[in-house]
Amino acid sequence: MSVLGHKLSPLAKHLVKYANVLNTEIELVEDNDPRLEKKAAAHYDSKTNKILIKTSVNFKGIGSEPTLLHEIIHALTVKELNNNPNSKEVKELVKLYEHAKKHISSDVYGMKDINEFVAELFTNDDFINQLKDIPAIDSVKYKNLFQEFFVLFLLVKVVFEKPLYTVEK
């Protein structure tokens, strides 16, 4: 990790073990590696289950933690999102994404597709703040779209076999 004490360091370090469980290889590559787009600091390749990170990464001037975390989120979610589009959980995420598209410019990276939407929800403060300014779909239960997503994430199995958290009634 390039920035000691970065606020995402503990989460990135915690999620590295999930990359190991998924047998996701993390490879440091040179800046001119043809497997990466020129401007990309890193990339998750779902076909090879490999995260490629430039050795000189200093993404947005904040170090490698957000970049590594972003790519690990992809490793944890891309297959579920792409292979199970009809699952209840994925449909709910898509519904939130479609709602966000009505409020956020398509130029914002997190709006590129559902995969980037999910990864940016965990790694991009500016994106999270934009979602906090969007009214929730269910405005009776939630203050904003980010809160609605967060509760959905806690209650369903997008990544994990069972919910991370359940609410007792």
Instruction: Give CA–CA dist 65/114, Å, rounded.
Output: 22
Instruction: Assess if residue 2 is contained within a domain.
Output: no
129, pLDDT greater than 90: yes
Instruction: Give CA–CA dist 27/33, Å, rounded.
Output: 11
96 with 151, same domain: the answer is: yes
pLDDT of residue 4: 41
Task: Using a cut of 0.85, tell me whether the model's pTM lies above it.
Answer: no
Residue 34: give the domain boundaries.
9-82
Number of domains present in the structure of the chain: 2
Name the pLDDT band for 115 (thresholds 50, 70, 90): very high
Instruction: Assess if residue 164 is contained within a domain.
Output: no
Instruction: Assess if residue 145 is contained within a domain.
Output: yes
Residue range 57-73: mean pLDDT, rounded: 71
Task: Indicate left, alpha or beta for 78 from its phi (over 0: left) and psi (-120 to 50: alpha).
Answer: alpha
pLDDT tens digits, one per residue of 1-56: 333 444 555 655 666 666 666 788 888 888 888 888 877 888 899 899 998 888 77
